[in-house]
Structure 1
Amino acid sequence: MKIIKRLEILILMIFILGCGRQDKVDQKINEKLNVIATTTMLGDLVKEIGGEKVNVTILMNNGVSPHSYQPKLSDTKNIMKGDLLVVNGLYLEGKMEECLKNIDKNKLLVIGDELNKNKLILMESGEYDPHIFLSLELWKDAAEILEKRLIKMDVKNQDYYKKSKDEYIEKLSKLDDYTREQLNKIDKDKRILVTSHRAFNYFAREYSFETNYVKGISSEREIGINTINNLVTYLKDRRIKTIFLENSAPESILNTIVQTSARQNWNVKIGGKLYVGSLGDKESGADTYIKYYKKNIDTIVQGLK
Structure 2
Amino acid sequence: MMRIFKKIGSIILMLLIFGCGQKENINQNLEKKMNVVVTTTMLGDLAREIGKDKINVNVLMNIGVSPHSYQPKLSDTQNILGADLIVVNGLYLEGKMEECLKNISKDKLLVIGDEIDKNKLILMESGEYDPHIFLSLNLWKDAANILEKRLSNKDKKNKIYYEKAKNSYIEKLNELDKYIKEQLNKIEPDKKILVTSHRAFNYFAKDYSFETNYVKGISSENEVSISTINKLVNYIKSKKIKTIFLENSTPENILDIIVQASEKNNWEINIGGKLYVGSLGDKKSGADTYIKYYKKNVDTIVKGLI
Normalised to the residue count of structure 1, the TM-score between the two structures is 0.90
Measured in 1, the distance between the counterparts of 2:246 and 2:29 equals 41
Matches within 5 A, 1:255-270: 255-270=256-271
Q: 1:29 to 1:36 in 2, by over 3 A?
A: farther
Q: Which residue is 1:294 aligned to?
A: 295
Measured in 2, the distance between the counterparts of 1:73 and 1:102 equals 16
Matches within 5 A, 1:15-164: 30-164=31-165
Measured in 1, the distance between the counterparts of 2:208 and 2:83 equals 38
Q: Which residue is 1:22 aligned to?
A: none
Q: CA deviation at 1:29?
A: 9.6
Measured in 2, the distance between the counterparts of 1:295 and 1:28 equals 41
Task: State whether structure 2 residue 225 is matched by structure 1 residue 231.
Answer: no
Measured in 2, the distance between the counterparts of 1:98 and 1:88 equals 15
Structure 1 counterpart of 2:35, one-letter code: N
Cα deviation code 1:173-206 (max 9, x no counterpart): 0000000000000000000000000000000000
Measured in 1, the distance between the counterparts of 2:244 and 2:203 equals 18
Q: Which residue is 1:272 aligned to?
A: 273
Measured in 1, the distance between the counterparts of 2:66 and 2:270 equals 24
Task: State whether structure 2 residue 176 is matched by structure 1 residue 175.
Answer: yes
Please list every run of at least 4 consecutive aligned residues from structure 1 whose deviation after the TM superposition is greater than 6 angstroms.
Answer: none
What SS does the corresponding residue of 1:194 show, helix, strand or coil? strand
The 10-residue stretch of structure 1 (91-100 or 188-197) with the greater mean CA deviation from structure 2: 91-100
Structure 2 counterpart of 1:134, one-letter code: L
* Percent of aligned positions that are identical: 75
Structure 2 counterpart of 1:269, one-letter code: N
Gaps of 5+ in 2: 1-27
What SS does the corresponding residue of 1:272 show, helix, strand or coil? strand
Q: CA deviation at 1:28?
A: 9.0
Q: Which residue is 1:218 aligned to?
A: 219
Structure 2 counterpart of 1:171, one-letter code: K
CA radius of gyration, larger in: 2
Measured in 2, the distance between the counterparts of 1:60 and 1:174 equals 28
Q: 1:31 to 1:204 in 2, by over 3 A?
A: same
Structure 2 counterpart of 1:226, one-letter code: S
Q: CA deviation at 1:263?
A: 1.3
RMSD of equivalent CA atoms: 1.2
Contact 1:274/1:296, CA 8 A, preserved across alignment: yes
Q: Which residue is 2:21 aligned to?
A: none
Q: CA deviation at 1:98?
A: 2.9
Cα deviation code 1:17-67 (max 9, x no counterpart): xxxxxxxxxx99931000000000000000000000000000000110000
Contact 1:28/1:34, CA 8 A, preserved across alignment: no
What SS does the corresponding residue of 1:233 show, helix, strand or coil? helix
Measured in 2, the distance between the counterparts of 1:270 and 1:258 equals 8
Measured in 2, the distance between the counterparts of 1:85 and 1:144 equals 16
Q: Which residue is 1:199 aligned to?
A: 200
Contact 2:242/2:270, CA 8 A, preserved across alignment: yes
What SS does the corresponding residue of 2:107 show, helix, strand or coil? helix
Measured in 2, the distance between the counterparts of 1:148 and 1:224 equals 44
Contact 1:67/1:220, CA 8 A, preserved across alignment: yes
Measured in 2, the distance between the counterparts of 1:30 and 1:76 equals 25
What SS does the corresponding residue of 1:106 show, helix, strand or coil? coil
Q: CA deviation at 1:255?
A: 0.5
Structure 2 counterpart of 1:262, one-letter code: E
Cα deviation code 1:265-302 (max 9, x no counterpart): 11010000000000000000000000000000000000
Structure 1 counterpart of 2:282, one-letter code: D
Q: Which residue is 2:248 aligned to?
A: 247
Between the two proteins, the alignment pairs up a number of residues equal to: 279
